[in-house]
Amino acid sequence: MAGLSRGSALSYSSFHTYEDCPQRWKLLYVDQLPEAAKPYFSFGRSMHLALEAFVAPLVVPRAKPAQQRTLTDFTDLPAPSPMPVNDLLQHYERVWVKEGYGSEGEERKYFLVGRDLLTRYHEIFTSAPPRPLAVEQDLRGKMDGVPIHGIVDRIDLSKQGRLVIVDYKTSRELSVRDAVTSDQLTFYQLLVEQNYDESVESLILYHLRSLTPLSSPPRGSAEIANLSGRVAVVAEGMSSGRFEPKVGARCARCEFRKSCPAFARVR
């Protein structure tokens, strides 16, 4: 499958891009045209980097199998202390991604929004700390025979000794419906289930702009089968070199219009 990253394993982003428009996928992954930096991408990256640094020291260490058999054995371990909020904000400033902003004023506006959100997130997190088992966990597996991989923002241990998958989002608006229908969470659930012995209790899109965890039950077999079938279709299309443009409303915002054969024919 030409153009697949991470050792020919399909990521959710790659799958989603191809399903949206095979030609855009080709331009990005095969032709490797550069994607322009955008404010919301840079802001999201900055927030993820800050949250990774904040949560990573709190990850519960895994003991060797001879010492410990189940995740529930972690519950009696003392939880590490979170870094002070000022340290979190200082790290946020150090990892701030500057590319993509139209002006210094726009960049400053985003930066201050992020500071405020992290300050309030710190208060929420420390008032009822979760038990994170993994942060930015790179997992590999298979979906309908197709090698896949994904980097999961956070995996927590629930009070019941089951797993909670958390994906941070900096989108302006999100709803519980977005969590219930998220292909990305389904993708991550399958990866987690193939790499952990414990079952998944819930899936969370954490909406950072409202500091709201949008929770969904784990996907059932029908939902996983639906996504697996679509992944198989996408992988077969990639390997067969089918890169037809999908012309639609999103084309007006696509930065690759000048390189797209659909628009070359009408010029």
| Strand arrangement, sheet containing 131-143 | 131-143, 146-157, 163-169, 200-207, 212-216
Neighbours of 260 (CB within 10 A): 18
Instruction: Quote the pLDDT of residue 1.
Output: 45
Enumerate the β-bridge partners of residue 134.
155
pLDDT digits (tens, 9 = 90+) for 49-105: 999 999 999 998 765 444 444 555 555 566 778 999 999 999 999 999 999 999 999
Tell me, what's the pLDDT at 91? Answer: 98
pTM of the model: 0.90
Crossing angle of helices 183-195/221-240, nearest 10°? 100
Separation CA 204–CA 197 (nearest Å): 20
5-240 CATH? 3.90.320
- pLDDT for res 3: 45
Q: What are phi and psi of 73, to 5 degrees?
A: -65, -15
| d(C-alpha 248, C-alpha 80), whole Å | 50
Q: Which of 75-79, 174-178, 193-197 has the lowest mean pLDDT?
A: 75-79
Of residues 262 and 187, more confidently modeled: 187
Domain assignments of the chain as residue spans, ordered by start: 5-240
CA-CA-CA-CA dihedral for 186, 191, 193, 199, to nearest 10: -60
